[in-house]
Amino acid sequence: MHVDIEHAQGRVTFTLQPGPGEDATRRVELARRTTSFLVDVPPGQVHPDLLVVCALLCARPWVRPATPFSCAVPASRALADAVRAGPRLTLAHVVDGPARAVPPDGRPGLCFSGGTDSVAALVLLPDTTHSYHLYRRAPEGERRSTMMDGRAAVQSCDVLRRRGRAVTVVPSDVEYLRHPLGFPHDLTTAVPLLLHADVHRLDAVAWGAPLEATYRLQRGRFRDYAESPFVAEWGPVFAVLGLPVCVPIAGVSEVVTSAIVHRHPLGEAAQSCVRGSRLGRPCGRCPKCARKTLLTSAVSGRWPADRALERQWRDTESRQHLLDEPMKVEPVLAHCAHRYLADGGGSTLLRLVAAKSGPDPRDWLTRSYEPALDLLPQHYRSGIAQRLHRFAHPMTAEEEAVVRGYDVTVPDAGRAAAQDELRRWMAAHPARDLLMRVWRRGRRELRLLLGPALRADLRLPGDPGHD
Ligand SMILES: [Zn+2]
Tens of pLDDT, residues 248-259: 999 999 999 999
Kindly state whether residues 300 and 158 are assigned to the same domain: no
Give the C-alpha separation, 52 to 59, whole Å.
Answer: 11
Q: How far does residue 284's CA lie from ligand 1's centre (Å)?
A: 5
Residues facing 130 on adjacent strands = 109, 166
Q: How far does residue 114's CA lie from ligand 1's centre (Å)?
A: 13
Q: How far does residue 192's CA lie from ligand 1's centre (Å)?
A: 25
Q: How far does residue 272's CA lie from ligand 1's centre (Å)?
A: 7
Task: Give the Å distances, CA to CA, from 34 to 14, 41, 223, 346.
Answer: 6, 20, 36, 53
Q: How far does residue 187's CA lie from ligand 1's centre (Å)?
A: 23
The contacts of residue 216 (CB under 8 Å, 6+ apart) are 222, 223, 228
Residues facing 7 on adjacent strands = 12
Kindly state whether residues 209 and 62 are assigned to the same domain: yes
Residues in the chain: 467
Q: How far does residue 376's CA lie from ligand 1's centre (Å)?
A: 32
Does 169 map to a domain?
A: yes
pLDDT score of 320 more than 60: yes
* Element (DSSP H or E) covering residue 167: strand 166-172
Kindly state whether residues 210 and 315 are assigned to the same domain: no
Cβ atoms within 10 Å of 197's Cβ, excluding its own: 27
Does 405 map to a domain?
A: no
* Element (DSSP H or E) covering residue 166: strand 166-172
DSSP states of 406-448 as a string?
Answer: -B--S--HHHHHHHHHHHHHHHHS----HHHHHHHHHHHHHHH
Q: How far does residue 125's CA lie from ligand 1's centre (Å)?
A: 27
Q: How far does residue 445's CA lie from ligand 1's centre (Å)?
A: 20
Amino acid residing at 272: S
Domain boundary among 199, 230, 246: 246
Does 395 map to a domain?
A: no
How much is the pLDDT for 435?
A: 66
How much is the pLDDT for 148?
A: 84
Amino acid residing at 228: S
Domain that residue 41 falls in = 2-246
Helix, coil or strand: residue 280: coil
The angle subtended at Cα 175 by Cα 439 and Cα 164, nearest 5°, is: 100
How much is the pLDDT for 406?
A: 93
Q: How far does residue 433's CA lie from ligand 1's centre (Å)?
A: 14
Kindly state whether residues 303 and 238 are assigned to the same domain: no
Does 141 map to a domain?
A: yes
Task: Give the Å distances, CA to CA, from 259 to 39, 246, 292, 386, 402.
Answer: 34, 21, 12, 16, 22
The contacts of residue 307 (CB under 8 Å, 6+ apart) are none
pLDDT score of 467 more than 60: no
Q: How far does residue 282's CA lie from ligand 1's centre (Å)?
A: 5
How much is the pLDDT for 145?
A: 78
Give the C-alpha separation, 437 to 355, whole Å.
Answer: 31
Judging by DSSP bridges, how do beta strands 166-172 and 75-76 pair with one another?
A: unpaired
Q: How far does residue 149's CA lie from ligand 1's centre (Å)?
A: 10
- 246, 204 contact by CB (below 8 A): yes
| Tally of structural domains, the chain | 2
Cβ atoms within 10 Å of 218's Cβ, excluding its own: 19
Q: How far does residue 32's CA lie from ligand 1's centre (Å)?
A: 29
Lowest pLDDT segment from 44-48, 141-145, 335-339, 408-412: 141-145
- 125, 386 contact by CB (below 8 A): no
Kindly state whether residues 70 and 180 are assigned to the same domain: yes
Q: How far does residue 36's CA lie from ligand 1's centre (Å)?
A: 28
- 256, 391 contact by CB (below 8 A): yes
Kindly state whether residues 218 and 351 are assigned to the same domain: no
pLDDT averaged over every residue in the chain: 91
Does 223 map to a domain?
A: yes
Kindly state whether residues 289 and 241 are assigned to the same domain: no
pLDDT score of 26 more than 90: no
Please report, for the chain, how many H helices and E strands are present, in that order.
19, 13
pLDDT digits (tens, 9 = 90+) for 277-294: 899 889 888 999 999 999
Phi, psi of 119 (to 5 degrees): -65, -40
What is the mean pLDDT of the segment spanning 239-249?
98
Kindly state whether residues 234 and 330 are assigned to the same domain: no
Give the C-alpha separation, 339 to 323, whole Å.
Answer: 20
Does 138 map to a domain?
A: yes
pLDDT class of 448 with cuts at 50, 70, 90: low
Does 198 map to a domain?
A: yes
Kindly state whether residues 163 and 62 are assigned to the same domain: yes
| Greater model confidence, 75 or 329 | 75
Q: How far does residue 309's CA lie from ligand 1's centre (Å)?
A: 14
What is the mean pLDDT of the segment spanning 229-244?
95
pLDDT digits (tens, 9 = 90+) for 191-218: 999 999 999 999 999 999 999 999 999 8
Kindly state whether residues 330 and 225 are assigned to the same domain: no
What is the mean pLDDT of the segment spanning 352-362?
94
pLDDT digits (tens, 9 = 90+) for 379-391: 999 999 999 999 9
Give the C-alpha separation, 101 to 379, whole Å.
Answer: 16
Lowest pLDDT segment from 124-128, 219-223, 434-438: 434-438
Q: How far does residue 331's CA lie from ligand 1's centre (Å)?
A: 20
Does 324 map to a domain?
A: yes
DSSP states of 116-145 as a string?
Answer: HHHHHHHHHS-TTPEEEEEEE-PPTT----
How much is the pLDDT for 466?
A: 32
Q: How far does residue 291's CA lie from ligand 1's centre (Å)?
A: 9
Q: How far does residue 147's CA lie from ligand 1's centre (Å)?
A: 10
DSSP states of 261-279 as a string?
Answer: HHHSGGGGG----SS-SBT
Q: What is the pTM of this model?
A: 0.90
- The burial of 280, by beta-carbon neighbours within 10 Å (0-12 exposed, 13-18 middle, 19 or more buried), is given as exposed
Task: Give the Å distances, CA to CA, from 168 to 25, 350, 437.
Answer: 33, 41, 33
Kindly state whether residues 11 and 83 are assigned to the same domain: yes
The contacts of residue 56 (CB under 8 Å, 6+ apart) are 63, 69, 83, 87, 89
Q: How far does residue 465's CA lie from ligand 1's centre (Å)?
A: 28
Q: How far does residue 281's CA lie from ligand 1's centre (Å)?
A: 9
Q: How far does residue 274's CA lie from ligand 1's centre (Å)?
A: 6
Judging by DSSP bridges, how do beta strands 202-206 and 245-246 pair with one another?
A: parallel
DSSP state of 379: H
Kindly state whether residues 240 and 305 are assigned to the same domain: no
Per DSSP (E only), the strands in 18-128 are 29-30, 34-38, 70-71, 75-76, 94-95, 107-111
